[in-house]
Structure 1
Amino acid sequence: MPPARPRRRGRLLTIAAALVLVGFIVLVARLHLTSSRVESVTEPDRALALIVERTMDLDDALATASALERRLYALTLTDGGGSLAEAIDWYEELAETMAGDLFVDVRLAILHGEAGRLAEVQEAVEDWQTRGEARAADVIAGAYLAAPLAPAWPARQSVDRLVDPGWFRDRLARRLAPRIGDDAWLVETREAEHQRTQPLLRVVRIFAASEVTLLALGGAAALSLLVGRRRAVAAAPVPPPWRGGEGLIVIVRGGAGGVVVTIALLALGGWTHRGAALLEAVSLPLVYVPVLLLAGRRLLRPAGLGFAAGFGLRPGPGGWPPLVRSAAILAGAGIVVDIALGLLSEAAGVPSHWTEWFDEDLAWGSTGVLVGSLLGTVLFAPVLEEIVFRGLLYGTLRRRVGWPAAAVLSAIVFAAAHGYGVAGFGSVFASGVMWAIAYEKTRSLLPGMLAHAANNVSAACAVLALLRV
């Protein structure tokens, strides 16, 4: 029996770690609940302009696609007809956060005008006239309120000075060019629209085809499983050999260590500016180092296990095919669940907010930052999160409760850790439940890791296809 003093020190250390972890969770939750969601984005005006312009360009491109193709895109990437209303909601929120910003207000007025909400357009024009923003007032009133145009008014130059090239400028050009009889301007606008929309449509077609292919592979894998013999694909001990209390100690202390690492990384602001690409690649693994070290020393080693044997990271006698088949089923099921949850959230009026899926690094980061972000998203996150949330958390819970309760409880923690809204929480929660069940049935974290990676690749490709490519 260990001496009383070391046990007392151990309890005090665990209590201190729990206080650090709970304090950090409370702080993050408070910031999340009390601050505007757009404040989490460094340049929200630039980000939302990019999102809305590309989304509206895609809607224009989809007008040339078949009905079946449009329905497919609505399920896998965009809801099409609701884009304008959603863009207005987002811009109204941004206008409240950045009150008086002409860049934001002009774009909101254009969206209002395109939606036929002329009372809001009139209100904006009157406000600009009061503030002395004559150019904005003249352009928007001329485009949407049929205001008289002075014979010598430089419409094209005024639009060029007010709005950057893109969908917003083209909307103004399409309305003003006929009024001033500038056919050349209208032709140039249509050509610019074509040059933007057609490449975007090609990329989105590739993305949609990959989603359908993954769904088909998952269905084929599920069918082969139904007609074949079911068996575990590895030999991880589930429930694990460690005591539930010991697992909880490791999770609490390791979580507190991750908080300390996170704070240290945030404190390196000056260095991160110079080495952002390097930090982007190593920050996520560093956060998980404390809990992994503790797990290896206090949970796996006393049981005579390494990470490979403890979490089924080595294929069983059947080799890789059963693992890949299980991963394909999970990935295909994930797409079905995401589509179902997307339809449900839209029907309930709680769609995901743009800040939940927008990633500045993917949208306009340098090549180095982009690569670092993709490494974290596609490689490190699936591996490390599956070890911690399924291998450690789910495994520890399995020592105390049955697999259904353990799957649900671990998935709740997993979803809450991502900090998303209602729609995002539901999606992450469903994935967490599926991956926990897969671990229970296959005795391996590898299928969940592969499905997790496929899910993150899909999300990253969707952002890249829409905003960067």
Structure 2
Amino acid sequence: MAWNPDSILREKDQASRLPPSRDFSTFSLVVTICLAGILCLGVGFVIWAHMSTERLARVTAPEEALALLAEQMLTLHEAAPRLPAWERRLYQWLGDGDERQYVLRWYRELAAYTNDPLMAFYVAVLSGESGARSDVEATVHAWKRRPLPYSLFAQLLETAYLAPPDGRLTVYQLQARLAEMVPDGWFYRRVANRLAERIQDHAFLEFLERSSRPAIRARIWANRVVVGFELLSVVVGVVSLGLVYRRWRAYGAEGLRLGSSQLPPPWPGRMGVMVLIWGGALTVLLLIGCSLMGIDQRLLQVLVPFLLHVPVVMLAVRFLWLPAGVSCIQGWGLRLIPGQGRLLGLMTSGLFGAALIAEWGIGHLTAVWHVSVHWTDWFDETLILGTQAELWSAVVTYTLVAPVLEELVFRGVLFATLRRWFGPWLSMLSSAGVFALAHGYSVGGALAIFASGLLWAWAYEKTGSLWPGIAAHTLNNLFVCVTAIMLLRP
């Protein structure tokens, strides 16, 4: 069906004449205050637990997790000289700093956390590869008189990065001990390569190069696919936003309408706040109940997205939309205006491309400010280290369940409630800030989430429908899942 501006005007006029929501005695002030106290206690406990728990403690196997991440980053850094000049410049422009420095900082943190000699050895190897000779000398001096494996690691580091070897036999013995002590991967290859270079063992150097070539080539092409998709998405997104702008110039604000959602909504702001308080308190009580019942951790992981959002959604339907005489489908703009499918596609691709641009910009800014995203913020053990069943459960949750429920709560209820009191931009900024804080990421990750929340709230304001935000949210989460699986899952 062709797009008809008159149909949009009729839908908007119908929404504008919706009866205002009545005040409900159901929401007793005393009960609401009590539930607000429960919600505050629950949020306070979560914040305390989050702040008091070390980041690495949130990962079940941090050594294995960081090893996968480091292998990807360091292998690509090592392979960079083999790439065409234009591709190297592209990665330098898209990147946010020296990957080795990030990995070095993360391994220092992990070595201090675990007291694992192998992790400390990795720190020394990264220092040697970065040219920090004084750091390697200090490590060798401190480890020489310590028991195994420190004394062996000191001998490996000294021979590889500092003093010439005593002879070929010594190097061969060290190569054998290295293979016993260090798992195959980037760290083993670099030290083995350094030892072989010391005695000009060209046969072994060629063997190392030949044996690692397939894995390096596979990582290079996987990275090319991811970066190529990102660049294509940005180009398509910019073109899509250009077409959306042209449509706005031709038809005005009504030309961007996808649904009949009314902003500000037809309920009092205090009712929206009460729904958020009641829903949040119910979530706290449900989580406490699940904890007391001893529900299996894997089952709880599946239930958490529903427990966090469904209470607010159900209360919003019952106490916000029904008293206003509006179905939630109409109220949240979930019934598309006929003929607007193309506009939905343009908005979705435009929002996704804009979010990628924002993420790149934030990455560069945080590098300038020396504030980076911590690897535990986005390393998902279920996606990367989980079983096949856990993997598919996580993908379904992240790409289907979370986008719908999060958009209903953060844009459909929180943002809409703020619009009863504030203008569009202050409401967008405030709701996006709450959305970012709710994810519990570090500064870099929180800024990226904030940018996405801002874009999706803007789309809801302009289109009168949650569908653009849901679709872009789904596409974003799907891209994150596929990227993690392609680049990191063993």
Q: TM-score, normalised by structure 1?
A: 0.91
Higher relative contact order (CA 8 A, sep 6+): 2
Indicate yes or no: 2:144 matched with 1:129. Answer: yes
Alpha-carbon deviations, 1:406-447, whole Å to 9, x = none?
111111111110111111121111211111111011000000
Secondary structure in structure 1 of the residue aligned to 2:256? coil
Q: TM-score, normalised by structure 2?
A: 0.87
Task: Specify whether residues 304 and 114 from structure 1 end up closer, same or farther in structure 2 by C-alpha distance, changes over 3 A only.
Answer: same
Task: Specify whether residues 21 and 212 from structure 1 end up closer, same or farther in structure 2 by C-alpha distance, changes over 3 A only.
Answer: same
Query: Could you tell me whether the CA contact under 8 Å between 2:244 and 2:256 is conserved in 1?
Result: no
How far 1:355 moved relative to its partner? 1.2
**Which of the residues 423, 429, 447 maps onto 1:426?**
447
How far 1:104 moved relative to its partner? 0.9
1:353-432 equivalence runs, <5 A: 353-432=374-453
CA distance in 1, matches of 2:165, 2:111: 28
Task: Specify whether residues 88 and 216 from structure 1 end up closer, same or farther in structure 2 by C-alpha distance, changes over 3 A only.
Answer: same
CA distance in 2, matches of 1:221, 1:352: 29
Task: Specify whether residues 283 and 33 from structure 1 end up closer, same or farther in structure 2 by C-alpha distance, changes over 3 A only.
Answer: closer
Alpha-carbon deviations, 1:262-319, whole Å to 9, x = none?
34455566723xxx3x554443123322112211111112122233111111111223
Indicate yes or no: 2:78 matched with 1:53. Answer: no
In structure 1, the partner of 2:233 is 214
Percentage identity across paired residues of the two chains: 35
Indicate yes or no: 2:479 matched with 1:458. Answer: yes
Query: Could you tell me whether the CA contact under 8 Å between 1:383 and 1:449 is conserved in 2?
Result: yes
In structure 2, the partner of 1:157 is 176
Indicate yes or no: 2:268 matched with 1:249. Answer: no
How far 1:63 moved relative to its partner? 2.5
Q: Which moved more, 1:162-171 or 1:50-59?
A: 50-59
Indicate yes or no: 2:134 matched with 1:119. Answer: yes
Indicate yes or no: 2:351 matched with 1:335. Answer: no
Contiguous gaps of at least 5 residues in structure 1 = 1-5
CA distance in 2, matches of 1:254, 1:93: 38
**Which of the residues 12, 18, 21 maps onto 2:39?**
21
CA distance in 1, matches of 2:414, 2:177: 59
Indicate yes or no: 2:168 matched with 1:143. Answer: no
In structure 1, the partner of 2:86 is 68
CA distance in 1, matches of 2:27, 2:358: 46
Moved >6 Å (runs of 4+): none
Secondary structure in structure 2 of the residue aligned to 1:368? helix
Indicate yes or no: 2:57 matched with 1:39. Answer: yes
Contiguous gaps of at least 5 residues in structure 2 = 1-23
In structure 1, the partner of 2:122 is 107
Task: Specify whether residues 398 and 306 from structure 1 end up closer, same or farther in structure 2 by C-alpha distance, changes over 3 A only.
Answer: same
Pairs aligned (count): 457
CA distance in 2, matches of 1:102, 1:352: 26
RMSD, aligned α-carbons: 2.2
Query: Could you tell me whether the CA contact under 8 Å between 2:329 and 2:335 is conserved in 1?
Result: yes
CA distance in 2, matches of 1:9, 1:221: 45
1:166-245 equivalence runs, <5 A: 166-180=185-199, 182-228=201-247, 229=251, 230-245=255-270
Task: Specify whether residues 173 and 264 from structure 1 end up closer, same or farther in structure 2 by C-alpha distance, changes over 3 A only.
Answer: farther
CA distance in 2, matches of 1:281, 1:373: 8
Task: Specify whether residues 195 and 270 from structure 1 end up closer, same or farther in structure 2 by C-alpha distance, changes over 3 A only.
Answer: farther
Indicate yes or no: 2:105 matched with 1:89. Answer: yes
CA distance in 2, matches of 1:283, 1:216: 36
